[in-house]
């Protein structure tokens, strides 16, 4: 990609085929075609979108110990997790290569490390050549998410060059973590992607806040998901349907400019692919009076140490 001063960003506010990895990937490939047809150079997809967010936890007594209901649902979730080592994202990578499109994808990763039976809410960055450039596992699952997800590490706290921009991304509430944001600011981010499971209440305030703080474009992308989208073949499907609200994820995808103004106000109530353009000129203008890791930083007074080692359960020395 040339070092253009503008970039087109596509926000995929779409529902997964819930807890069906292959069917969700097939839907994502269609969405990538739609985004490419609109000139999208970067596609953003919500947190845990592949194969879906665990909406049942807060609605079906998810914390009950030794619950057969929870075990059956969790087994399905684990079975449909994304194992990158097994090639589960190969088709997405091939599509990214075909369209020369970078992708920020929220996936429930089931990695081989740590025994291979734990899910992590991961942010996968696929570059425009179709290579998986980084995988960031959510540093701290939020509240009931800890019943289903493992705790991540700092390995994916990195940025990526895309055209004339530097892209960063975080999962959901870790966007509220000041030091996680600071770690990315110091690596030059000027286009930040915040991925969410889906709710305007999450995206409305923080999107503009981060944009003003970072003097960067901020893209918040969410899913849309309703009770009627729960597949009939789900384990304990009637229990889940009886417990969850009519709308579990109302969207709220939006984009804020480096001055905090809306480029795309929150989109609520439907699926859609929304394409916006970011212009580096506005980043440069807003850095004139504030640059959080540059001329407004005081590293001799305030500094940050980041451990980016991938954490595993064993270290094998043969």
Residue ranges with strand state E in the chain: 6-13, 42-45, 102-109, 120-126, 132-137, 160-162, 165-171, 191-195, 217-221, 224-226, 247-256, 262-268, 272-279
Domain boundaries, the chain: 6-286
With CA atoms as reference, report the closest residue to 174 among 215, 213, 142.
Answer: 142
Please give the CATH number for the structural domain made up of 6-286. 3.60.110.10
Give the model confidence (pLDDT) of 175-206 as tens digits. 999 999 999 999 999 999 999 999 999 999 99
Residue 50 clears pLDDT 80, i.e. is over it? yes
**CA dist 32 to 40, 42, 126, Å?**
9, 10, 13
Give the model confidence (pLDDT) of 29-40 as tens digits. 999 999 999 999
Q: What is the reported pTM? A: 0.96
With CA atoms as reference, report the closest residue to 255 among 31, 49, 30, 42.
Answer: 42
* Residue 3: per-residue pLDDT: 64
Binned at pLDDT 50, 70 and 90, residue 316 comes out as: confident
Tokens of 318: 């043969």
Residue ranges with strand state E in 14-142: 42-45, 102-109, 120-126, 132-137
Task: Report residue 98: phi and psi, to 5°.
Answer: -60, -45
* Residue 315: per-residue pLDDT: 84
Give the model confidence (pLDDT) of 83-105 as tens digits. 999 999 999 999 999 999 999 99
The half-sphere exposure of 234 on its side-chain side, counting CA atoms within 13 A, is 26
- Percent of the residues in the chain that have a pLDDT greater than 90, as a whole number: 95
Give the model confidence (pLDDT) of 117-159 as tens digits. 999 999 999 999 999 999 999 999 999 999 999 999 999 999 9
Residue 1 clears pLDDT 80, i.e. is over it? no
* Residue 84: per-residue pLDDT: 98
* Residue 204: per-residue pLDDT: 97
> How far apart (Å, rounded) are the C-alpha atoms in residues 185 and 51?
30
């Amino acid at each position: 990609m040339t070092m253009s001063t503008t970039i087109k960003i596509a926000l995929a506010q779409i529902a997964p085929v819930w807890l069906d990895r292959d069917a969700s990937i097939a839907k994502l490939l269609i969405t990538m075609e739609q985004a490419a047809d609109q000139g999208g150079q970067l596609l953003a997809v919500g947190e845990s979108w592949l194969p879906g967010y665990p909406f049942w936890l807060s609605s079906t007594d998810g914390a009950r110990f030794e619950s057969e209901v929870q075990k059956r649902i969790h087994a399905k979730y684990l079975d449909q997790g994304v194992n990158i080592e097994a090639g589960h994202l190969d088709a997405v990578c091939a599509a990214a290569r075909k369209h020369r499109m970078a992708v920020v994808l929220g996936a429930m990763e089931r990695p081989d490390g740590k025994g291979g039976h734990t899910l992590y809410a991961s942010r996968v960055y696929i570059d425009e050549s179709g290579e998986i450039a980084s995988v960031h596992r959510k540093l701290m699952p939020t509240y009931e998410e800890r019943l289903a997800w493992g705790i991540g590490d700092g390995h994916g706290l990195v940025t990526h060059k895309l055209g004339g921009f530097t892209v960063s991304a975080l999962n959901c509430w870790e966007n509220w973590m000041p030091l996680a944001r600071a770690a990315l600011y110091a690596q030059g981010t000027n286009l930040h992607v915040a991925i969410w499971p889906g709710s305007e209440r999450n995206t409305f305030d923080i999107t503009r806040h981060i944009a003003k703080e970072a003097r960067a474009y901020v893209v918040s992308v969410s899913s849309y998901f309703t009770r009627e989208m729960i597949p009939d073949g789900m384990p304990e499907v009637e229990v889940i349907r009886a417990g969850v609200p009519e709308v579990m994820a109302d969207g709220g995808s939006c984009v804020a400019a480096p001055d905090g103004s809306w480029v795309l106000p929150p989109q609520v109530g439907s699926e859609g692919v929304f394409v916006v353009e970011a212009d580096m000129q506005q980043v440069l203008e807003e850095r004139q009076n504030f640059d959080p890791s540059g001329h407004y930083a005081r590293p001799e007074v305030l500094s940050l140490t980041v451990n980016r080692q991938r954490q595993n359960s064993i270290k094998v020395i043969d």
